[in-house]
Structure 1
């Protein structure tokens, strides 16, 4: 399951003890790395660096990194070579955003953190839930 891959990234920093902040994956990184592993997207470590600035709501508490990490994975999975209208990619993205907003009440990192973030575990439960709903959206889209 996608959430199991996400959990590996969440837990990975624990092995570094008091230096764990140096090995931390943000919410966007976790989602895209987990998708890369689970769906075998073939992204190398350099390509995965593109998602780093998306964490923490673009580092400014704007669009949630869980959401943007999922959108990035959708782009890799469904965007077509040109020429293309990218109809399927647009449909999947719209479904992901709608489902995400229904679950978390907003797409805005600041609002989600204020209303849904766990005082002890931070965004960890949100990342796990986000990975679950992303997997649901993606599995529905693969059926179509």
Structure 2
């Protein structure tokens, strides 16, 4: 379900960046009831935080993990750290890197489709992790 929501939101109709797409999709898929202000927090994370570093879809997925699995703050335990490490490991195994620039070089060949295959892959990995925690 998350994959389908991500595909829906990563379109010209919604005009969201990669990080926003993952958070918007998870908000709908998992009924997170995030406010518009909460959703806007991912705006600066697209394009590898605008400097083509860590993929925005990955940073969006990290935000989702925090929202879903942290009670009050990260330091309450090791759970969020372990989930983030799982996310990085699985995305790197699937796509070879989490670096925006390298991902775009390898997977972004069509300006109309843009980073859709990357976003779908990250959404699938995130959904697997969430499913294993449920």
The TM-score, its normalising length taken from structure 2, stands at: 0.91
For 1:96, the equivalent position in structure 2 comes to 87
Matched, 1:127 2:91: no
Q: Is the 8 A contact 2:74 2:80 kept in 1?
A: no
Q: Does 1:9 find its partner at 2:1?
A: no
Aligned residue for 1:94, secondary structure, equals helix
Higher helix proportion: 1
Residue 61 of structure 1 contacts residue 109 of structure 1 at CA under 8 Å; is this kept in 2?
Answer: yes
Give 1:94 shift.
Answer: 1.1
Please identify runs of 4+ aligned residues in structure 1 that moved more than 4 A: none
Per the normalisation by structure 1, the TM-score is: 0.85
Gaps of 5+ in 1: 15-22
**Per-residue CA shift, 1:23-70, capped at 9, x if unaligned?**
510000000110111111121111111101000000110110010000
Unaligned runs of 5+ in 2: none
Structure number with bigger Rg: 1
| 1:75-114 correspondence to structure 2 within 5 Å | 75-81=66-72, 84-114=75-105
The 8 Å contact of residues 9 and 25 in structure 1, kept in 2 or not, is answered as: yes
User: Are the counterparts in 1 of residues 23 and 39 from structure 2 also a CA contact under 8 Å?
Assistant: yes
Count of aligned pairs between the two proteins: 133
Greater Cα shift, 95-104 or 81-90: 81-90
CA–CA distance in 1 between the matches of 2:59 and 2:46?
Answer: 8
Q: CA distance change for structure 1 residues 82 and 27 in 2, over 3 Å: closer, same or farther?
A: closer
Matched, 1:141 2:125: no
The aligned residue for residue 53 of structure 1 is: 44
Farther-moved stretch of structure 1 (49-58 vs 131-140) = 131-140
- The CA RMSD measured in Å over matched residues stands at 1.7
1:77 positional shift: 0.6
Alignment partner of 2:24 out of 13, 33, 41: 33
